[in-house]
Chains A and B, each alone.
Chain A
Amino acid sequence: MKSPGILDHAFGAAYAKRLGGLPGAATTALDALRQRARVTLGTDGLPGPKLEEWRFTPLRGLAKIPFIPAASAEDIEVSDVPLSVPKIAGAARIVLVNGVYRPDLSDQDFSGVSVSPLSTKNVDGRELLGHLATPSAAPLVALNTAYMAEGIALHVHGAAKPIHLVSIGASGAEPAAFHPRVLIVAEANSSLTLIETHVGLPGQPYFSNPVTEIVLGSGAAVRRYVEVAEDADAFHLATTAVAVAENATFEAFHLGLGGALVRQETHVAFAGTDATVKLHGAYALSGKSHHDFTTVIDHHVPSCKSNQIFKGVVADDAHGVYQGRIHVARDAQKTDARQLHKALFLNRGPKVDCKPELEIYADDVQCAHGAATGEIDPDHLFYLLSRGIDPERARNLLVEGFLADAVNEISDETVRDVFVGQIAGWLKKRGVQS
Chain B
Amino acid sequence: MSLLEIKNLHVSVVGKEILKGVDLTINAGEVHAIMGPNGTGKSTLSNVIAGREGYEVTQGSVTFDGKDVFAMAADERARAGIFLAFQYPVEIPGVTTSAFLKTAINAKRRAEGKTEIDAMEFLKLVKAKTKALGMADDMIKRMLNVGFSGGEKKRAEVLQMTLLEPKLAILDETDSGLDIDALKIVSEGVNALRAPTRGFLVITHYQRLLDYIVPDFVHVLAGGKVVASGGKELAKELEATGYAKYQGAAA
Contact = CB atoms under 8 A, between A and B. Distances in A.
A401 B92 contact: yes
Contact of A389 (B52, B84, B107, B143): B107
A382 B53 contact: yes
B93 interface: yes
Nearest to B94: A401
Contacts of B84: 386
Interface stretch (A56-64, A137-145, A269-277, A391-399): A391-399
A389 B89 contact: no
Contacts of B92: 380, 383-384, 398, 401
A403 interface: yes
Given A385-B74, A385-B78, A388-B79, A403 B94 contact: yes
- Of B50, B94, B111, B143, most buried by chain A (CB within 10 Å of CB) is B94
B164 interface: yes
A404 B95 CA distance: 8
Contact of A380 (B50, B51, B90, B107): B90
Contacts of A386: 50-52, 74-75, 78, 83-84, 86
A175 B53 CA distance: 50
B52 A382 contact: yes
A421 B134 CA distance: 34
Nearest to B109: A388
Interface residues on B, range: 20 to 34
B78 A401 contact: no
Q: Chain A contact residues (Cβ within 8 angstroms of B): what range? A: 20 to 34
A382 B75 CA distance: 9
A402 interface: yes
B56 to A, nearest CB: 16
B125 interface: no
Given A386-B51, A390-B107, A400 B94 contact: yes
Give the residue among B51, B78, B84, B108 with the most A Cβ atoms within 10 A: B78
Interface in B85-132: 86, 89-90, 92-95, 99-100, 103-104, 107-108, 111
Given A385-B74, A390-B75, A401 B93 contact: yes
A405 B74 contact: no
Given A401-B95, A403-B94, A405-B93, A389 B75 contact: yes
B187 interface: no
A52 interface: no
B222 to A, nearest CB: 27
A2 interface: no
5 contacts: A388-B79, A391-B75, A393-B107, A398-B94, A405-B94
